Amino acid sequence: MKSAIIVLFLLAGPCAALHAAIVGTNVPARSLTVERIATLPAKEQPAWREYLARSQKQKQADQDALRSELKALGLSQPIVPPTGRSADDLALDRPAPWYGGKGALRQADIIVSFQTPAGGWSKNLNMTTQPRAPGEAFATDNNNRFPSPGDFDQAADPHWHYVGTFDNDATITQMRFLAKVVTASHTRKSPYRTAFLRGLDYSLNAQYPNGGWPQVWPLEGGYHDTITLNDDAMLHVLDLMHDVAQGSPDFAWVPSGQRARAALSFHNGLLCLLAAQIQKADGRRTVWCQQHDALTLEPTSGRNYELPSATSSESASVVLFLMQLPHPNSNIVAAIRSAVAWFEQTKIMGQSFKKTDGAGRQLLAAPGSGPIWARYYDLGTDRPIFGDRDQTIHDDVNELSLERRNGYGWFRDTPKRVLARYPLWLQANAH
């Protein structure tokens, strides 16, 4: 499999790992375009062309709806709504009767007001104080706080950014909250029911022909078009589709036709997830990347410092998701076994990534500690790699700029949960 990273350690000798270096340069992910679709086999092209056209039409409709509001109000620019952590503010763990009370209904009203014409929600919105007012944008200011020339995270339109997204738990959290309100209020005809079903249509419309989901829909371009496992975005959609299809308690009221569509969506999404598992040149499967190209499923970049690589934390979430599926088939079992073997191979013992006096966080010797895993591993060598805002790729986290070294989770221990659960899972599912 070709990597978007300049080949690492090409000239490495036995002592190369002792000398930290810039070992590559990250390159941006590719958008989904008509030109790229034209490179697919002829029989695959119609579905992708229809998808792209539908996305573009919906984006235009969303923008036209806001322009119409602005024109009616005599405004030249939309009002920026208040920021917040919308997904964190919407509690999904209250006792069931609470969702039929005044507090939950008020939050549900705010949620409905911020739903985009397409049916999704943006991220980082304050959904606790007041409903969206006419003329307010559907999204707050989600632009990069550290802009630079050639920034992968630079919005094509800074005024239209993350308008409808699965990032930061957006859309799926709002839908789960609304489903609880509908269930608790015992009503089948309400704005909450309508908004949930619109959100379900949004999630189904956003799904790629190959079963994956982009980070943003309608499509925005750049890494937002990639099939996104970062922050478990695709897993959250799959979880929702599974619960809807099964008629779980919060979704027992969903009409049978929509439940059948959710079941098919889940099936296709699971196939895509398994197909995206990274495969070595010798055929061995390993884990997943944070982002996979929409058309090729190859690992690709996200932000400047998010690398085409084998990733530990997101991959652990994928395996934990696969482990909880009942009656796993042989493909799921093989995917889990391959990933567990990779986690065992790449774990780091006797080191800790921690704060130091005046030098920020550093990876230091810590006898007896571990295991931990690097966030990213080179696709060819399985050695840890680290990215900086200037798109450079390093083999030593201590070489990163202080801002990036302190501002990102370069080491995680999420795979520990996989390794702890694996023996019991294997005993129950050995084929």
Q: Which of these, 384, 378, 412, lies nearest to 398 by C-alpha position?
A: 384
Please state the rounded mean pLDDT for residues 138-165.
87
**Is residue 1 over pLDDT 70?**
no
Where residue 19 falls among pLDDT bands split at 50, 70, 90?
low
CATH number where 386 lies: 1.50.10.20
Predicted pLDDT at 431: 60
Span 402-427, pLDDT tens digits:
999 999 999 999 999 999 999 999 99
Mean pLDDT for the chain?
92
Average pLDDT estimate for 176-202: 93
Same domain, 144 and 70: yes
- Same structural domain, 262 and 377: no
Residues 109 and 195 in one domain: yes
**Same structural domain for residues 333 and 197?**
no
In a domain, 6, yes or no: yes
Residue 356's pLDDT is what? 87
Domain end marker among 225, 259, 277: 277
pLDDT of residue 10: 38
**Same domain as 431, residue 356:** yes
Indicate whether 290 belongs to any domain. Answer: no
Q: What are the tens digits of pLDDT across the range 69-121?
A: 999 999 999 999 988 876 778 999 999 999 999 999 999 999 999 999 999 99
Task: Give yes or no for residue 18 having a pLDDT over 60.
Answer: no
CA 248 – CA 305 distance, rounded (Å)? 39
Same domain (yes/no): 271, 311:
no
Looking at this protein, which amino acid is placed at residue 387? G
CA gap 92, 108 in Å, rounded? 12
Q: What are the tokens at 352?
A: 């800790």
Q: Which of 209, 242, 241, 239 is nearest to 227 (CA)?
A: 209
Query: Do 245 and 118 fall within a single domain?
Result: yes
Q: What is the pLDDT of residue 144?
A: 82
Is residue 39 a part of any domain in this protein?
no
* Residue 255, pLDDT above cutoff 90: yes
Catalytic residue among 26, 142, 168, 230: 168
Predicted TM-score (pTM) of this structure: 0.93
Is 362 found in the same domain as 237? Answer: no
For CA atoms 347, 235, 379, 393, the dihedral sign is negative
Q: Do the beta carbons of residue 84 and residue 128 sit within 8 Å?
A: yes
Percent helix, strand, coil in the chain, to 5, is 45, 10, 45
Give the span between the Cα atoms of 6 and 4, in whole angstroms. 7
Do 269 and 122 share a structural domain? yes
Q: Considering only CA atoms, which of 290, 149, 166, 153 is closest in space to residue 229?
A: 290
- Is pLDDT of 364 > 90? yes
> How many domains are there within the chain?
2
> What single-letter amino acid sits at 90?
L
- Average pLDDT of the residues in 18-44: 91
Task: Tell me whether residue 143 is one of the annotated catalytic residues.
Answer: no
pLDDT score of 158 more than 90: no
- With 0-12 CB in 10 A as exposed, 13-18 as middle and 19+ as buried, what is 108? buried
Do 256 and 389 share a structural domain? no
Give the count of alpha carbons within 13 A of 114, CB side only. Answer: 33
Burial letters for 214-237: b for 16+ Cβ neighbours within 10 Å, e otherwise?
bbbbbbbebbbbbbbbbbbbbbbb
Confidence of residue 186 (pLDDT cuts 50, 70, 90): confident
What is the Cα–Cα distance from 316 to 19, expressed in whole angstroms?
A: 30
The span from the CA of 298 to the CA of 3, in Å, is 8
* pLDDT exceeds 50 at position 14: no
Q: What is residue 147's predicted lDDT score, i.e. its pLDDT?
A: 76
Strand 384-387 to strand 376-377: parallel, antiparallel, or no bridges (unpaired)? antiparallel
- Whether 294 is in a domain gets the answer no
Interatomic CA distance for residues 431 and 252, integer angstroms: 33
Domain end among 277, 295, 330:
277
Q: Does the pLDDT of residue 9 top 70, yes or no?
A: no
162: region left, alpha or beta (phi > 0 left; psi from -120 to 50 alpha): left
Any idea what the Cα angle at residue 330 is, between residues 273 and 205, rounded to 5°?
25
Residues 360 and 216 placed together within one structural domain of the fold: no
Give residue 424's pLDDT: 96
Q: Is residue 97 part of a domain?
A: yes
> The domain containing residue 409 runs over which residues?
1-11+19-26+304-431
CB 315 within 8 A of CB 338: no
- Active-site residue, from 132, 261, 303, 375: 303
How many other CB atoms sit within 10 Å of the CB of residue 197? 17
Residue 168 bears catalytic tag: yes
Whole-number CA gyration radius for the chain: 22
pLDDT at 4 over 90: no
Identify whether 364 is part of a domain: yes
- Smallest CA-to-CA distance from 312 within 229, 209, 388, 206 is with 229
Is the CB of residue 127 less than 8 Å from the CB of residue 113? Answer: no
- Give, for 423, the enclosing helix (H) or strand (E): helix 415-429
- Which of 262, 277, 292 corresponds to the end of one domain? 277
Query: Can you give 253-266 as a three-state secondary structure string?
Result: CCCHHHHHHHHHHH
The pLDDT tens digits of the residues spanning 122-146 come to 999 999 889 999 999 999 988 887 7
Spacing of C-alpha 91 from chain mean position: 20
Q: What percent of the chain has pLDDT above 90?
A: 85
Q: Please answer whether residues 20 and 399 qualify as being in contact, where contact means their C-beta atoms are separated by less than 8 angstroms.
A: yes
276 within 8 A of 255, measured Cβ to Cβ: no
Whether residue 264 is contained in a domain is answered as yes
Asked if residue 207 is part of any domain, the answer here is yes
Handedness of CA 195, 199, 204, 208 (dihedral sign): positive
Same domain, 63 and 196: yes
List of residues 6+ apart from 49 with CB closer than 8 A: 34, 37
Beta bridge partners of 362: 354
Strand segments, DSSP code E, in 17-152 are 22-25
